[in-house]
Amino acid sequence: MWFTDHMLFHYHRCRRRVYLDSYGDTTLKDPPSDYFVKLREDSAEHRQAILAPFAPLHQPIYEKYDWEAGAIATYQMMQAGVETIYRGILITEGPSNVRYRTEPDILVKQPGESWLGDWYYVPYNVKLGKKPKPEYQLVAAFNAYILAEVQGVWPETAWLFLKEKQCAVNLERYVPKLQEALDDCLDINDGVLTNSEPPEVFISRSRCDMCPWLGYCYSEAKAQNHLSLLPGVTKKRYPDLVEIGITTVEALAKAQPTQLAYLLAVEQRVTEKMIFQAQANWTGSAVPLLRGSTSARNNNTFPLTLDHVPTTDIELYFDIEAAPDKDLIYLHGVLVVNNQTGSETFHALVAETPDQEETAWFEFLALVNSYPHAPIYHFCPYEAQTVRRLADLYGNGGVNIDYLLGRFVDIHKRVVDAVALPVESYALKHLARWMGFEWRDEDANGAQSICWYGDWLRTGDRTYLNTILRYNEDDCQATYRVKDWLVNFAQPFWQSESL
């Protein structure tokens, strides 16, 4: 059996993934999304640009999938002492019938003693990420380990070329982690890959979103009503819950917060929130997060006041679209709601080409400044952070940015502070859909809009741009819907408090 650099990479993100990649029914995998394809293309482009200065690159020639032949061709190049080897194949023996295989982006020749002569090689991998993520470093350590087995000497380090910098991997730190990972995967009695069943499913949006097994894993989690579908139950906290016998949403909904806090060794406010969340999902209805509602029942207070979600004659709903690959903000969408006339007007301040980012920024400032007292609702901190950044970059156009940001209201924060909802995530899509809102384009999302903007720049086809504008307007409308829902939900609490 092969154990490869790709398997190690995915193992670090999810133990179940490495099992499914090895033994799962591939017909159950999701097709790659446009965004995934784009990332793969961007990554290949980035690799080409980074490796250009190393030309000429020598690449071993072998029949596709004939790894043995690839390893022999690579070793012959190493023996010949070529300066740089592109995508060489390195193989060594692992435990029992396992063989380790890796494919570093390049191997670069260095002076020094080895089995090859008075030179040896150092491995480099190219990654599109900005930071040296642990999985990158683990794979780099794997490269160094197999290379040491092949050439008879350890490279002093393994290198990562990242988006903006080059980074040396600390092998003293990562080789022991590598050993742990290999043991966990390959242990003859209880390794991930030697077991007959995959590791338990655990849906974590940040980790699973780009995984081709998401559809399959999600339906399994759904069928089990798995606790990982409950916001707040993290991968770290889940084993502790299982250990004390809480394995279902119902059990968590009925738990006692003081006792649970004691058993989990966390603050009571944490367990209160988890229990409220479980109650919301179990009953299918919204649960207010009343302060002291479980510990001091006579002292219930609703955490939001009218000032937290101001309702005024004019309200603005704001959403940005960005292209992180181009370091670009290409759309400021603003929905102007006039509560007196009942009118709603959407403004799309768009950079049709990347060099129009600055113009779109000043158009945005002019628009929001023309409603100097209107609250500006947005979802999550990104909009506020971006406004601050663009002001630093291009200037404030005479607008007081501190005052402007003082008008911003993060409706996501208001919701999570005030209420537990029967949703799997507090992302805008999940919240607004639960409240009955639907996007006109069912498949639209932030990642897809990045692809559409790229398509618009490449083809000039306005359909792409118009689809983005429609999606952005719907995001603003959804934010408006969430705000409206929250105000309606809060009304009875405000009325009872004012009595």
CB 74 within 8 A of CB 85: yes
191-220 residues in contact with ligand SF4 (CB under 6 A) are 201-202, 207-208, 211, 213-214, 217
List of residues 6+ apart from 155 with CB closer than 8 A: 110, 120, 121, 122, 123, 144, 147, 148
Choose between 3 and 202: whose C-beta lies nearer to ligand SF4: 202
* Residues near ligand SF4 (CB under 6 A), total: 12
Q: How many CA atoms lie within 13 A of 322 on its CB side?
A: 14
Residue holding tokens 């367990």?
A: 271
CB of 206: closest distance to ligand SF4 in angstroms? 10
If 0-12 CB within 10 Å is exposed, 13-18 middle and 19+ buried, where does residue 463 land? Answer: exposed
Choose between 218 and 318: whose C-beta lies nearer to ligand SF4: 218
The Cα–Cα gap between 65 and 63 comes to: 6
CB of 252: closest distance to ligand SF4 in angstroms? 20
Choose between 10 and 378: whose C-beta lies nearer to ligand SF4: 10
Choose between 213 and 238: whose C-beta lies nearer to ligand SF4: 213
Choose between 84 and 228: whose C-beta lies nearer to ligand SF4: 228
CB of 190: closest distance to ligand SF4 in angstroms? 19
Sign of CA dihedral 288, 294, 295, 299: positive
CB of 420: closest distance to ligand SF4 in angstroms? 24
Among 7, 20, 260, 420, binds ligand SF4 (CB under 6 A): 20
Q: Which long-range contacts (CB under 8 A, 24 or more apart) does 36-43 make?
A: 36/210, 38/325, 38/450, 38/451, 38/454, 39/128, 39/210, 42/128, 42/325, 43/127, 43/128
CB of 137: closest distance to ligand SF4 in angstroms? 20
CB of 220: closest distance to ligand SF4 in angstroms? 8
Among 3, 4, 5, 14, binds ligand SF4 (CB under 6 A): 14
CB 179 within 8 A of CB 173: no
The Cα–Cα gap between 155 and 112 comes to: 10
Among 17, 226, 347, 378, binds ligand SF4 (CB under 6 A): 17
CB of 321: closest distance to ligand SF4 in angstroms? 27
Return the beta strands (E) in 327-375 as ranges.
328-338, 343-350
Letters for 215-254 (x = contact with ligand SF4 by CB under 6 A, - = none) are: --x-------------------------------------
DSSP 189: T
The residues of the shown chain that bind ligand SF4, judged by CB under 6 A, are 14, 16-17, 20, 201-202, 207-208, 211, 213-214, 217
